[in-house]
Amino acid sequence: MNTKKLVPDRLQVHSFAVGHGDCTMLEFFKEDMVAFRLLCDGGATLPKPLVDYLKAHPRAEGSVDIDLVILSHVDGDHQGGLHRLADQTPLTIGEYWGPCLPAFTRHKWLFSETVASAVTRATDLEEKLKARNVPIIYPLEGHTASPVPGRVSISVLSPPGRLLRRLIYGSSSAVLDLLTAAPMPMEWLIAGTPYDEVEGNGLSAESVFGARTFLRPVDLDDPSPTVRLSKDEVHNAAKDQLGADWEPEFFGNRVLNDTSLVISVDVLLDGKYRRRVLLTGDQENWAYIASRHPGGLVADVLKAPHHGGQLYMADRSESTEYALDQTYLWLRARTVLVSASGHHGLPHVRFRDAVRASGATLICPNTRSFEPLSPGAMAATEKCCHKAFKCGKEQRAHTVLTLTGESEYASAQACSQGVLHRGTAPIVVMQQRLVDPDETFIRWTNTEIEKQAEWIKRILAERHKAFKETISESATPITDGMRQSCVTWTEFEALAKADGRHRLLADPGGVLKYGVARHMFWTASRPRNGSEPAMYRVSPDAEMKAVERWFTSMPHIILYIHKPDWDAINGGNRLKLLQAADTTSLVALLAEKLHIPIEMAEKEYLPRLLVRASKKLSARICDINRPYIYPNTQTSSSVLLHLHQGNQQIGDITSDEWNERVWRKFRVDEDVLKFMLEQASTSIFAPSILVNMQSDFPQISNMLFTGFSTYNRDQVPAWDVENFPEEFHKARWRNL
């Protein structure tokens, strides 16, 4: 008996004190071994505790020291340490993500010396990494990666590709419009309406960007069109909005803050506990990101953007105090990590108050030496949190926040204990304030979301029940059972209006994400680019397992594979072969078995069934056209995949009964389907002979078995093989 105790997964978030700067590392531990390591930013100088930690905790042999290094933006207090890291030749790096430098080098003539120098230094960093053969990409909004499949996924929330495309290829007039808008023309990005769509090099822009979510330096080797503007010209156009002391505010302050990479890292612990970390660089203006995620980002750990400085949800004319509160309410973090030391007056007192008001726990590297015990003890005019609490110059060099499936804890005391964590918490005194939220970003509570999702689930269950009742009375239940359709959002709109569910109609996105994430219902598509979501009831696990048992108990299953993957064959990868097989008709039959729409059977259930079959059944292949020749990569362009239980005899598909009930027919009808499903349990199941199952005229084809037979002179689909089972087993099969 194996008595070895399983070690729970854990996620560790390391915050290294770098004064005023950022240096954050994430580690995902599986079986007490580091399965993934990410470093975001490196401070102004590389912190010694980081180097010491990496040396003291080496990865398993064959793994790189850091899987992914990210530079959020070019500011010196974020990139400086990464130059030293790139010089640490014993340390290996898997991949580098950084800001899209060609978007900024094109405009260096506009920047102050500080910003231009930062862009140049970031270019030097790339050259160092190239010399070490580290892959470099520029991620854009929508880019995703799964460094640990099924366990760690990374999503890029900003910057938008449309913005960078404009900066790289925009005409002079387009660039002028961007540079003279303060703080940035969010209406253009949010609404998606034309904003001087004239491109200086439209063909190049389209060929490089297209629908891509990341770029590589080599993609931008061709020079961008020249911007024919002078600094004086831009200054004159901007002076009414920006004043005499101007910078290209579209980029965000003096160091391109609002083009920071904003990245979400989702980790699934023990296969069931999801934890999210948000890495935010110095992003200040959150209006565009909030418009894309109106329900909030909901993070377990948030690296505080801009070192605890001012943030915005709209423009800077709004109340700065309420803007900060509103942003942290929308971010919806449980724990906030900040990295600042009093420089530039950061972190702000207002930032600390906003984090406390949102209910989050705040962890800071600074140590207070002053504790106000009553109102008025702290000077109301003090704006800097570091000064208000008389924090010393020394910081905690290395703080580790650990998250498991059951708990969260830190290696140092919190600056402020929040109320969003499970379990007991220290007694704290909090000052309550009322904040009137912006109607654009009204937040759902979890209770409200759950109620609305339960309503959708109930409607879908009623729809499923009604469909089953209709099928039970049908003269052709198998054929009609494949015709179930998803419930579209248009249908839900009518039902929601009739039921008075106006909040659901106003903002359905959060409810749909909640329901899908908790497996309350399936969705066939995402509400993007004008498409509407379509949903259906999730089949209970017992129903899906019953269909799995039905499928894997069949003695013989024959599937067709066109252009097989020989790497998968040589490696014995059954799952990859199954995924390459023609499963169109199989999906339709699965949909009938579960009484679900075909698209749901294909998207949600088929992958599960194929995994089960790849583990449960034996598998082999033969050449479909020349079955008596051993299949090989040179001659076999199509193969039969034979899944079977063992050495049971295969059924005779050339019998009189098969000829009469299947082969002599042109169209697939109820009788054909019924006969084939009966034969599947005792003889043979070959769904690929059913062609065009989702069309109005599904047909029957014996092309799968032409290598074992010939047509007679009258061209009637009959067979000349005297003993098909014997010939079938004589074929040169290659076992997998």
Domain ranges for the chain, please list them: 284-394+414-434, 444-538, 549-735
Contact 164, 103 (CB under 8 A): yes
Sign for the CA dihedral angle at 456, 459, 465, 469 comes to negative
User: What are the φ/ψ torsions at residue 400 (nearest 5 degrees)?
Assistant: -120, 125
How many angstroms separate the CA atoms of 544 and 470, rounded? 21
Q: What are 734's two structure tokens?
A: 């290659």
Long-range contacts of 107-113 (CB under 8 A, 24+ apart): 107/167, 107/175, 107/227, 107/248, 107/251, 109/231, 110/179, 110/231, 110/234, 110/248, 111/247, 111/248, 112/247, 112/254
Q: How far apart are CA 50 and CA 58, in angstroms?
A: 12
Residue 728: CB atoms within 10 Å:
25
Q: Is the dihedral of CA 373, 379, 380, 384 positive or negative?
A: negative
In the predicted model, residues of the chain with pLDDT beneath 70 are 1-5, 179-188, 190-207, 231, 235, 237-255, 314-321, 380, 420-447, 525-531, 709-722
Sheet holding 638-644, edge to edge: 556-562, 638-644, 618-623, 734-735
SS (H, E, C) 491-537: HHHHHHHHCCCHHHHHCCHHHHHHHHHCCCEEECCCCCCCCCCEEEE
Q: What's residue 207's pLDDT?
A: 64
**CA triple 522-525-526, angle to 5 deg:** 105
pTM: 0.59
Comparing CA positions, the residue from 222, 224, 220 lying closest to residue 212 is 220
Query: What pLDDT is recorded for position 189?
Result: 72
Q: Please report the pLDDT score of residue 719 as a whole number.
A: 54
pLDDT on residue 165:
85
Strand partners, 279: 263
- Residue 563's identity, in one-letter code, is K
Which residues touch 243 (CB under 8 Å, ≥6 apart)? none
Dihedral (C-alpha) 582, 587, 590, 592: value to the nearest 10 degrees?
-130
Structure tokens at 657: 């009964």
Q: From edge to edge, which strands make up the β-sheet containing 487-488?
A: 487-488, 534-537, 521-523
Q: What is the CA radius of gyration of the chain?
A: 31
Exposed (0-12), middle (13-18) or buried (19+): which is 36, by Cβ within 10 Å? buried
pLDDT tens for 191-215 read 554 444 444 455 566 667 777 889 9
d(CA 357, CA 317): 22
Q: Report the greatest alpha carbon distance in the chain.
A: 104
Residue with token string 């059944």: 617
Strands (E) located in 18-171: 24-30, 33-40, 66-70, 93-97, 136-139, 144-148, 152-158
> Is 384 within 8 Å of 352 (Cβ atoms)?
no
Give the HSE-up count for residue 617: Cα atoms under 13 Å, Cβ half-sphere. 28
| H-helix segments, 302-383 | 320-331, 349-357
Cα angle: 219, vertex 286, 199; to 5 degrees: 35
Q: Tokens standing for 336?
A: 């906030």
**26 with 37: CB under 8 angstroms?**
yes
Q: Among all chains, which residue has been given the structure tokens 């930032």?
A: 351
- What are phi and psi for residue 478, nearest 5 degrees? -70, -50
Query: What's the pLDDT tens digit per position in 316-330?
Result: 544 556 778 888 999
Residue type, 308: G
CB-CB contact of 44 with 81 (8 Å): yes
Contact residues for 168 (Cβ-Cβ < 8 A; gap 6+): 100, 102, 103, 106, 205, 208, 220, 224
Phi, psi of 220, rounded to the nearest 5 degrees: -115, 30
- Condensed to tens digits (0 to 9), the pLDDT of residues 501-540 reads 877 887 787 788 888 888 888 887 654 445 578 889 999 9
Closest listed residue to residue 166, CA positions, set 103, 101, 247: 103
